[in-house]
Structure 1
Amino acid sequence: MDDAIQLAGFGLLATFVLIALHVPVGIAMGIAGVVGFGLLSGFHPALAMMASETSNALTSLDLLTIPLFVLMGAFASIAGLSEDLYRLAYALVGHRRGGLAMATIGGCAGFGAVCGSSVATAATFGKVSLPSMIRRGYEPGFAAGTVAAGGTLGILIPPSSIMVIYAVLAQELIITLYIAALVPALIAIVFHFFAILAYTQIRPRDAPLGPRVGAAERWGAVRASWPVLVLTCTVVGGMALGVFTATESAAVGAVMAFGFAGMRGALRSSQLRSALLSTASTSAMIYVLIIGASLFGYFSAVTQAPQVLVGWVGEANVPVWVAMLALMVLFVIAGAIFDEVATMVISMPFVLPLVQSWGFDPIWWGVINVVIIEIGMLTPPLGMNVFVVKGIAPQIPLPSIYRGVMPYILSNLCRLGLLLVFPPLVLWLPHLLKG
């Protein structure tokens, strides 16, 4: 048993070494898992395990949700739905202090419901809303920080590829996790609005008032936004009400987004080819990540390292909330240094059994995990969304963008604390719909 535990530790270390050598995360985990299992049980069973796990992933109906939702997001972007959302949000709140920032957050939230990707949402609104905010006198760092923070909503608001990954690896229902994320997503939007209000009260010059839009223009923005409103209600509402499964909802959403792009005359052959290629490459990357995580998880389960870790923590007699807070701190630090998704999938074989042994619901932990990933996507020294916005607006200094995201990091930390103290905020809606 001790040899198996040591081998699990070496496997985890080997994974990090391979990642440091720029080996893709999924491949690094797969190599460590197959080699480790081969040393324990023989390489013939290890190769058979690799074949079966790959086959299971490629034939999984749950995982089919990912390429369909990615394709829906690509068609929605081609159809210009992000611009419609931003114009609608600007027409409603753009005249208020910080209104353009609120419009960006609202637009990112709406586009996240038809995209499911944080990076894609940040990249899209970096082109749609960032020039508008700077042109209207917003402080560039605050404007860029708003786009980066709004982009993180793309992985919390359903559909979310990261949630699909968690659900598959944790063997939970995707729809249940999506429904559980709805209230925390609404809280995120409200907290971001409060962060904008507080910041603009302290530094009003960073967010000047915009012109008030007339009633006719507001109704025009609402009418122009009907495709994205219909798409969002169909996809998210259909899953929440049990009309569609997650896979069916993704398929319906992809077809509807394709139809809207065609109806607007935006679907040219070059754009269609680009959408299909980007969907294929993104989906392949996610599939490799899931297969590698499954192989490593199988190897760690055979070593019984997770059970030993649970036993060690139990014998230490550390209060549960102290241990949970320490785990939160470690995750935030890891998310600021390593790739956030990699942190989640590598730690899951060890952390999920530990969290469940403390009596916490895996659905609740899945949402908490995504919230921590959101914080990591903004936190120095990395912060993936910060670098995405920096790439779109290279003239804005990186330290300025990090200062601009600070109000939103504080907002996210407050939300994380609220969800930790009140788990029913995550779980009551799934239980209500189940009942």
Structure 2
Amino acid sequence: MDPVTIGYLGIAALVLLVILGVPVAFASAFVGIIGISYIRNPSVGEGLAGMIPFANSASYSLSVLPLFVAIGFLAMHAGITTSAYDAARKWVGRAPGGLATATIFASAGFAAVSGASTASTAVFTRLALPEMEKRGYDRAFAAGVVAVGGTLAALIPPSALLVIYGIIVETSVAQLLLAGFLPGILSVVVYLIVITVVVKLRPGLAPIEPAVPMIEKIRALPQVAGVFSVVGVILVGIYMGWMTPTESAGVATAIILLMAMRKRMKLKEFGHGLLDTVQTTAMIFMVIWGVMVFVRFLAFTGLPASVADSVTHLDVPRWVILAAIIVMYLLLGMILDGLGMMLLTLPVVFPSIVALGYDPVWFGILLVKLIEVGVVTPPVGLNCYVVNGIRPDIPLESVFKGVAPFLLGEIVIIGVIVAFPDLILLLPNLMN
């Protein structure tokens, strides 16, 4: 059988296993090992199955992931997130949809010390949603704000998805993290505009908050000092060339630990933070190992090169192909989680993107933004399921209803990313 045909059959088998509920890590590893064994011989498949996990775990670039994960969980268990939300509430509570606005700002702050979308959503479902309900906010609107706010963790550094993307396609992780900052800020601005417009059109969704004295606002500023410190260390350290992403993550983790000590974090909470870090890191590494085995199988078949060659010889403008890829990811986001979608498609899609002349760093930002849209759209909408899982009294349909106005904002953001690639690449280009 032709190797390229075997590659297509392998992709079909993998998609079928994922649809049947087999975890991506096991499904991709299984198909990859069977495929390599068939193309070469069983001894090669067995050897690569043992070699690839070790080779990828020993990668210096990959060492940044556990540190980024630790920053988020330690900040959450130390109560740093609660302090950031309280400060945001005091400063912007009087704005239209004040608590919703504060939730977006606090979500952006948590994104700067987390990098995990679902973790951010879970934190603010417990923290911000009850506060908004207590003050008379519409439940669907409040739930939608929390779900959308969680997506910021996918772009604003440190972002685990950007790190994984950089490792898979062998692109600079430092440039990806810098490139994610401006689109992350753009997303915050667009979300705030959506909140303002929605509340102006339907004032009953969000009552006006009482004024907070300026002295209380000033006293709240030290509560967000740690968040700004982490952002500064990561962005400035990488931009100035003083630190690698792993080194900046190490310093940022130390800052969070010092803040946790100042807040007298209990040993039990510290243990929970470490346990969550280990569990999440193990899950991410297992997915990477399985998918890298599958990627090696596709390389043996020659399928990625064949697809790239076919795409570049299509008699259509390259923007048409890009538009088709964007639509494909938006549709996949409705049935697959973000990490699985990225790992399953990049081995085939990325060579075509490079062959068409698109910048790998720019495409990484676009891809992560498309994944963000996927985690808040039905039927999968992982962030919406997180909200519903923690608060089963809020129907899933209500969460999706609350998210709906923000999807128009997401279209605007995607349009800006596509239309102005130089803006997305501004910080990486300045670093160079």
* TM-score of the aligned structures, taking structure 1 as reference length: 0.96
1:237: which partner in 2?
Answer: 236
**Paired residues of 2:77 and 2:272 also in contact (CA < 8 A):** no
In structure 2, the residue corresponding to 1:97 is in which secondary structure?
coil
1:275: which partner in 2?
Answer: 273
2:338: which partner in 1?
Answer: 340
Q: CA deviation at 1:17?
A: 2.1
Unaligned runs of 5+ in 2: none
2:62: which partner in 1?
Answer: 63
Q: 2-side partners of 1:8 and 1:410: how far apart?
A: 37
1:197: which partner in 2?
Answer: 196
Q: CA deviation at 1:62?
A: 1.1
Q: 2-side partners of 1:149 and 1:240: how far apart?
A: 28
**Paired residues of 2:141 and 2:399 also in contact (CA < 8 A):** yes
Q: CA deviation at 1:284?
A: 0.9
In structure 1, the residue corresponding to 2:68 is in which secondary structure?
helix
Q: 1-side partners of 2:82 and 2:231: how far apart?
A: 15
**Paired residues of 1:122 and 1:388 also in contact (CA < 8 A):** yes
Q: CA deviation at 1:41?
A: 1.1
In structure 2, the residue corresponding to 1:359 is in which secondary structure?
coil
Q: CA deviation at 1:46?
A: 1.8
1:311: which partner in 2?
Answer: 309
1:43: which partner in 2?
Answer: 42
Q: 2-side partners of 1:241 and 1:394: how far apart?
A: 47
Q: CA deviation at 1:327?
A: 1.1
Which residue of 351, 357, 369 corresponds with 1:359?
Answer: 357
Structure 1 residues 6-25: aligned runs within 5 Å: 6-25=5-24
2:151: which partner in 1?
Answer: 152
Please state if 1:411 is matched with 2:382.
Answer: no
Q: 2-side partners of 1:112 and 1:242: how far apart?
A: 23
Q: 2-side partners of 1:224 and 1:274: how far apart?
A: 22
2:82: which partner in 1?
Answer: 83
2:428: which partner in 1?
Answer: 430
Q: CA deviation at 1:47?
A: 1.8
Q: 1-side partners of 2:50 and 2:392: how far apart?
A: 44
Q: 2-side partners of 1:93 and 1:331: how far apart?
A: 35
Q: CA deviation at 1:149?
A: 0.2
Q: CA deviation at 1:8?
A: 0.3
Q: 1-side partners of 2:382 and 2:289: how far apart?
A: 23
Name the amino acid aligned to 1:257.
I
Q: 2-side partners of 1:315 and 1:432: how far apart?
A: 34
Which residue of 374, 393, 414 corresponds with 2:372?
Answer: 374
2:260: which partner in 1?
Answer: 261
TM-align CA RMSD? 1.3
1:141: which partner in 2?
Answer: 140
**Paired residues of 1:159 and 1:236 also in contact (CA < 8 A):** no
Please state if 1:396 is matched with 2:426.
Answer: no
2:319: which partner in 1?
Answer: 321
Q: 2-side partners of 1:223 and 1:280: how far apart?
A: 30
Q: 1-side partners of 2:286 and 2:264: how far apart?
A: 35
Q: 2-side partners of 1:58 and 1:137: how far apart?
A: 49
Q: CA deviation at 1:295?
A: 1.2
In structure 2, the residue corresponding to 1:379 is in which secondary structure?
coil
Name the amino acid aligned to 2:397.
P
Q: CA deviation at 1:407?
A: 1.6
Q: Percent identity?
A: 35
2:122: which partner in 1?
Answer: 123
Q: CA deviation at 1:13?
A: 1.2
2:220: which partner in 1?
Answer: 221
Name the amino acid aligned to 1:81.
I
Which residue of 387, 404, 410 corresponds with 2:385?
Answer: 387
Q: 1-side partners of 2:60 and 2:310: how far apart?
A: 37
Q: CA deviation at 1:312?
A: 2.2
